[in-house]
Amino acid sequence: MITADLFRDPSDRTTPIRLGEGASLLPGFACDRAEAVFAALEEVLRQAPLRRMRTPGGHVMTVAMTCCGDRGWTSDADGYRYAARDPASGRPWPPMPEVFAELATDAASAAGYPAFVPDTCLINRYVAEAKLSPHQDRDERDLSHPIVSLSLGLPARFQFGGRHRSERLLRTTLEHGDVVVWGGASRLAYHGVLPLATGRHPMTGDCRYNLSFRRAG
Ligand code: MD6
Ligand code: FE
């Protein structure tokens, strides 16, 4: 697989970085609200605990997931889909906290997607060695809506390519508070996360969280 590192000035935490047409990385966009977002996240996790889902191919994912909002993404032997209830509890997913929705709308707007209103948030937790192989996000009904993705805690190496698996992947580091907004011509771009390096973060401890806000319905 061909990869190349994206050039980034690590001291610049304000200038948006273009990852592709319609895709931007907003460095540190959420740093000033990370504390409030994390407090709301802990409450969501109490109501819908993280779990490692099984892929349709029978593998157990290394990343632990849960959701909040009007629907949630799940994976099992029958495939990938959005469902109104948490299959682990049979209850509706926890409601999306106000601070989540506001952050998603503000970041989308800063990246050129005004009036984005998410109806679901997929929560991913990575511990050391957890990874997400390159994939497309294509289970949402209307792909004209972007995805807003927030990183909290330990840094991760993120890969970003094109609409075809064979296209070369750029690599960049996603840090605590970084937001990636993803839509338009890049909406179906392949992307993934390399195995997480061991570390400690003052807010999240030994892990990284990724919150991705979507309009799925
Ligand atoms: C992650 N992110 O950053 C995994 N998907 O942990 C994703 O899979 C993702 O960051 C769609 C849009 C943005 C993303
Ligand atoms: Fe994804």
The response to whether residue 19 sits with its C-beta less than 6 Å from ligand 1 reads no
pLDDT average per 10 residues of sequence, the chain (217 residues): 68 84 96 98 98 94 98 92 95 98 98 97 98 95 97 97 94 96 96 98 98 97
Specify the pLDDT at position 13: 73
CA of 132 to the centre of ligand 2 (A): 8
The predicted structure's pLDDT at residue 89? 95
* Separation between Cα atoms, residue 200 and residue 202, nearest integer Å: 7
Domain that holds residue 153: 3-214
Domain containing 108 — which CATH number?
2.60.120.590
Distance 150 CA to ligand 1 centre (A): 8
Structure pTM?
0.94
pLDDT of amino acid 94: 98
For CA atoms 16, 150, 159, 153, the dihedral sign is positive
pLDDT at position 104:
98
> 208-214 and 147-153 as β-strands: parallel, antiparallel, unpaired?
antiparallel
Ligand 1 touching residue 214 (CB < 6 A)? no
Assess whether the C-beta atom of 147 lies below 6 angstroms from ligand 1: yes
CA–CA distance from 35 to each of 112, 191, 209, 213 (Å)? 25, 27, 13, 18
Q: How many angstroms does the Cα of residue 87 sit away from the middle of ligand 2?
A: 21
Q: Tell me what pLDDT residue 21 has.
A: 94
How many angstroms separate the CA atoms of 123 and 212, rounded? 7
Q: Which tens digits make up the pLDDT trace of 72-125?
A: 999 988 999 999 999 999 999 999 999 999 999 999 999 999 999 999 999 999
Number of domains in the chain: 1
Whether residue 189 has its Cβ less than 6 Å from ligand 1: no
